[in-house]
Amino acid sequence: QIQLLKGICSSTSKGYYSRTSERPSDHPPHGLSGGVRAADMHRHHWISWATPQHSLQLCSQGTIYRWFQDFSNPGFELGDATRSGRPCSTRTTENIDVISDLVKEDPRQSVRELADCLEIDFKTVHRILTEDLHLRSVCSVWVPYDLTADQRQARVNCAKQIRKVFSSRGLNDILNCLVVEDETWLHLDGKGSKADNRCWLGAGDSKATVTRRSISDKKTMLLVAFTPNKRVSICTTPPNTKVDGQYFIDFVRHTGDLWRTLRSNPCHLDEVLWQMDNARPHTCKAVSDFLAGRRVNLLWQSPYSPDFNLCDRFLFKWLKADFSKRSFANHEEVKQLPRCTGSGSWRKNTCRLRSGVSAAPCTSASQTAVQEKYISKREYYWRVSSTVAMAIVGVAACLFTVQLIQDLLQATRYPVRSVKHRPVDRYDAPGIAVFPNGPRLQSCSYYRLLSAEFWNRKFAQSVTREKLEIEKTGRFLDHATQWNLNRTDCDYRSLTYRDAADNQTDEFAGHDALVFMGPSRVKEKETLFLYFTADTSDDQDFYSLGFLLFHDYWAFSNRSQADRLEFVADIRSHQPMYAASAGLRMWNRLSMTHMELEGGHEPTQVVLDLEYSLVWHWDRHQSDASSRKQFFLFFEWKSGIVAESYIMRTQSVWSFGAALCGVLLTLHKGYSLAAGNIRELRRTRARRTRSRQLKRLWQQHQRDLRLQKGAVNRGGPSSRFGHFQQLLNSSNGPGGIGSCTGG
């Protein structure tokens, strides 16, 4: 058939078929051209022309079209093309190992992808996955039917880790800081769950028909995080939203902001234990970096272990049991879901969790009861002791605050001055203002009594021990050969000033003054010797020489001439002045104290101290010099120690404020702890009182029942039993003992 059709196609390339003839003709029929119509004509004439032995009637029209198109191509060949052949359908060990490695590398591959990759039959790949590798497809992920040894060991390690955390932190801390997070789907049509489809059937009754949900049904994903002590965060995803790592980060951030601003029992993300599964949005790098930056402690659960997650154990069943009875029109109505619904169910499940955790280490019911009783007593005594301790701390903080305020007021009124002394080698040279009032300056000299050891430091170690002992005892002046006397001329300024009290119109009202530079080198025993004389040829028989001191000579010398005159006139009017008369020698000893106040708020004060002594002078000059009266002033340094004065306060405003803030924070924290403990004490006392009442009534009821067994029936239950029923019913309310112990 192919050879015949090829011949027909080659003939049609040279001529055309006519409508009436059975063979090709050289002239094309009227209105006929190439294309589908030509192919139809070829097939029509060829089938009518072909002999029955060729069996061309078995070829369909599509086959003829396809062959005609292929044979019209000049490059077409009749040889068989290369092909892969029939897919391999054998289940060899090599194929099983390769498929196992591919599934471990990416468990989300489909059966078709594995078959195309390995060029193995689809059914063979499926049989290898299900029968040889014992895998099943759960939510498009291949997971094993039975866990391997490593996966079972991972479950054991996860359980040990959780148990270790529970035992180290305690029950109350775990119930406060454990955060469990998971995701679930919520259908908006409000159909019941599988548990709601159960019904009682009699013999011969047919099973109830339940409509299966379609994949395209309206639904939304709920991201739920909760703690056992009634903190809940529920986030609903908008339509067409992809829950990836960034969406999960936003949910964790929203949960942290929500729980941080709670009025009752707030918490921060760095204080919680966050438990979640190993889904891809939970384990991506962005989520890991975010949780590490927020210092969130993670509590991972082992793979393929949804029973470790409390959301799957009871929360989702409880939520869906409530939400399955409702129907939502759109996603906006889902947003109005309450934060916590069914407080009774929540309290019952929370108390079950509490009792289960507390009873985990025990092996019998009696041991469990004893341990619960012991824990309750221990908590009660601990709360009492902590309340008393916080009350004592609050009283001590109040007394400390009062004493702190009194100390601050006392230190502000009466500051304490501290003086520190330090030795110096030299001072800034003081100034000595001398007012002659008649006598004239004859000589002015500096004398330095210098030791040879002072100038020659390198020979200090060669001094004998005897010499050092002599110097320590103060008898070194006996060795006069050790000392040298150095004399230099002094520096002074001469000026004539006008006193403010003098007559301004008097032209000759000026006063003479000499300002000398005082000694400055303390360690060199520097002295200043002034020699004045007064001529007694006139009628004046009394002469005096006045002088006073000021602390800085160089500041005076750097002034202008007008400032110098004003300065001398000012100190002459306000400073005390000393005077010496003729025939007496005055020996003066100077000392200077620099007063540096703390903080530099006040300028440095310099205090000059002067000690003087008068010596009678017996004039033994010749007769030509007896008519002159002589004045001698001798200044030397007395002390080489500078006193630095500081004004200190035992308490400052900043230290007082810091201490007061600490006291207030302590009082606030103590009050909050004490208030919480008092509330818990009241609740515990009321709970224990109700428990004792119930226990006594139950024991009395048991005794009444034992007494009634052998007696005649006297009527209904006793009054005590009726009172017990009333008390039990009242205790089953919110916060009662029945809700916590399961009745």
Instruction: Express each pLDDT in 97-134 by its tens digit.
Output: 888 888 887 777 788 888 888 888 888 888 888 888 88
Tell me the pLDDT band of 584, cut-offs 50, 70 and 90: low
Domain ranges within the chain, ordered by starting residue:
2-71, 93-144, 149-193+217-358, 386-410, 423-456+465-648, 671-741
pLDDT at 169: 77
Asked whether the beta carbons of 487 and 445 are under 8 A apart, the reply is: yes
Q: What pLDDT was estimated at residue 343? A: 36
Burial of 138 by CB count in 10 Å (0-12 exposed, 13-18 middle, 19+ buried)?
exposed
* Cross-strand partners of 249: none
Residue predicted with more confidence, 668 or 217: 668
**Pick from 153-167, 382-396, 557-571: least confident:** 382-396
> Which pLDDT belongs to residue 408?
74
How big is the CA angle at 445 (ends 444 and 451), to the nearest 5 degrees? 165
Residues in a beta bridge with 579 = 546
Q: Say what percent of the chain tops pLDDT 90.
A: 0
Q: What pLDDT does residue 742 have?
A: 34
224 vs 640, higher pLDDT = 224
CA-to-CA distance for 230 and 175, rounded, in angstroms? 9
Cα distance between residue 308 and residue 181, in whole Å: 11
Query: What is the residue-wise DSSP string for 188-252?
Result: TT----GGGG-----TTPPPPP-PPPPTTS-EEEEEEEEETTTEEEEEEPPTT----HHHHHHHH
Q: Classify burial at 79, counting beta carbons within 10 Å of its beta carbon; exposed 0-12, middle 13-18, buried 19 or more.
A: exposed
Q: Is 518 exposed, middle or buried (0-12, 13-18, 19+ CB in 10 A)?
A: buried
Kindly report the CA angle at 628 between 627 and 632, in degrees rounded to 5? 150
The pLDDT assigned to 684 comes to: 79
Residues in the chain: 743
Cβ contact 241:250 at 8 Å = no
pLDDT tens-digit map of 292-319: 888 888 887 777 777 777 777 777 777 7
Q: Which residue has the higher pLDDT, 718 or 553?
A: 553
Whole-number Å distance between alpha carbons of 230 and 267: 12
DSSP annotation of 439 = -
State whether residue 335 is helix, strand or coil: helix
188 within 8 A of 218, measured Cβ to Cβ: yes
d(CA 328, CA 222): 14
- Residue 489 burial (10 A CB sphere; 0-12, 13-18, 19+): exposed
From first CA to last CA, the distance across the chain in angstroms is 91
CA dihedral 242, 247, 252, 254 (to 10 degrees): -110
Sign, CA dihedral 530-536-538-543, equals positive
pLDDT in tens, 234-262: 888 887 788 888 888 988 888 888 888 77
- 8 A C-beta contact, residue 303 and residue 154: yes
Quote the pLDDT of residue 363. 34
Alpha carbon 613 to its chain centroid, in Å, reads 74
Residue 689 CA to its chain's centroid (Å): 45
Q: Do residues 68 and 42 touch, judged by C-beta distance below 8 A?
A: yes
162 or 348, greater pLDDT? 162
> Where does residue 491 rank: exposed (0-12), middle (13-18), buried (19+ CB within 10 A)?
middle
* pLDDT grade for 26, boundaries at 50, 70 and 90: very low
The span from the CA of 184 to the CA of 524, in Å, is 96
Taking the C-alpha atoms of residue 529 and residue 446, their distance in angstroms, rounded to an integer, is 7
* Distance between CA atoms of residues 392 and 379, nearest Å: 20
Q: What is the CATH number of domain 423-456+465-648?
A: 2.60.470
Residue 27 has pLDDT above 50, yes or no: no
701: pLDDT strictly greater than 60: yes
What does CATH list as the number for 149-193+217-358?
3.30.420.10
Q: Is the pLDDT of residue 93 over 50?
A: yes
Mean confidence (pLDDT) of the chain: 68
The answer to whether 10 and 78 are in contact (CB under 8 A) is no
Give the orientation angle of helix 316-323 with respect to helix 343-358, to 10 degrees: 170
Measured from the Cβ of residue 76, the count of other Cβ atoms closer than 10 Å reads 12
- Give me the torsion for CA of 62, 68, 71, 74, rounded to 10°: -120
* Statement: residue 472 has pLDDT above 70: no
Task: Give Cα 229 distance to the centre of its chain.
Answer: 25
- 226 touches 182 (CB < 8 A): no
Query: In which band, very low, low, confident or very high, does the pLDDT at 220 lie, cut at 50, 70 and 90?
Result: confident
- pLDDT tens column, 328-383: 777 777 766 544 333 334 444 444 444 433 333 333 333 334 344 444 566 677 77
Structure token digits, residue 172: 């109350």
Q: Is 484 helix (H, G, I), strand (E, B) or coil?
A: strand
Low-confidence winner among 32-46, 401-415, 683-697 (lowest mean pLDDT): 32-46
Calpha distance 95→103 (Å, rounded) = 12
Q: Which of 75-84, 168-177, 217-226 has the lowest mean pLDDT?
A: 75-84
Contacts of 657 (CB under 8 A, 6+ apart): none
The pLDDT-based confidence of 617 (bands split at 50, 70, 90) is low
If you write DSSP's letter for every residue of 155-168 in order, what string do you get?
HHHHHHHHHHHHHH
Distance separating alpha carbons of residues 419 and 551, to the nearest angstrom? 20
Whole-model pTM: value is 0.32
